[in-house]
Amino acid sequence: MLPINETHDPRLRSFVDAANAPEADFPIQNLPFGVIRRAGSKEEWRGAVAIGDQALDLSAVAKLHLLSGPAAQAIQAAAEPTLNRFMDMGRDAHGALRAALSRLLAEGSPHEGVLRGCLVPLADIEHAVPARIGDYTDFYASIHHATNVGRLFRPDNPLLPNYRWVPIGYHGRASSIRVSGQRFSRPMGQVCGAGHTVPALQPSRRLDYELELGLFIGSGNALGAPIPIESAEEHIFGLCLLNDWSARDLQAWEYQPLGPFLAKNFATTISPWIVTWEALAPFRVPFQRADGEPEPLPYLTSLANTVAGALDLTLDVAIETEAMRASGQSPERLTRVRLPEAMYWTLPQLVTHHTVNGCNLAAGDLLGSGTLSGPSPGSQGALLELTEGGKKPITLGNGELRTFLEDGDAVIFTAWAERDGFRRIGFGECRGEVLPAPVGVSGAHA
Q: Which residues are catalytic?
A: 145
Which residues is 402 bridged to in the sheet? 394
Other CB atoms within 10 Å distance of the CB of residue 402: 18
CB 344 within 8 A of CB 296: no
Phi, psi of 231 (to 5 degrees): -120, 10
Q: What is the rounded distance in angstroms from the CA atom of residue 113 to the CA atom of residue 131? A: 30
Phi, psi of 267 (to 5 degrees): -170, 140
CB 316 within 8 A of CB 336: yes
Strands 200-203 and 394-395: unpaired
Which residues is 113 bridged to in the sheet? none
Q: How far is CA 349 from the centre of its chain?
A: 17
If DSSP states are collapsed to H, E and C, what string results for the chain? CCCCCHHHCCCCCECCHHHHCCCCCCCCCCCCEEEEEECCCCCCCEEEEEECCEEEEHHHHHCCCCCCHHHHHHHHHHCCCCCHHHHHCCHHHHHHHHHHHHHHHECCCCCHHHHHCCEEEHHHEEEECCCCCCCEEEECCEHHHHHHHHHHHCCCCCCCCCCCCCCCEEECCCCCEEECCEEEECCEEEECCCCCCCCEEEECCCEECCEEEEEEECCCCCCCCCCCHHHHHHHEEEEEEEECCEEHHHHHHHCCCCCCCCCCCCCEEECCCEEECCCCHHHEECCCCCCCCCCCCHHHCCHHHHHHCEECCEEEEEEECHHHHHHCCCCEEEEEEEHHHHECCCHHHHHHHHHCCCCCCCCCCEEECCCCCCCCCCCCCCHHHHCCCCCCCEECCCCCEECCCCCCCEEEEEEEECCCCCCCEEEEEEEEEEECCCCCCCCCCC
Closest among 69, 358, 48 to 220, alpha carbons compared: 358
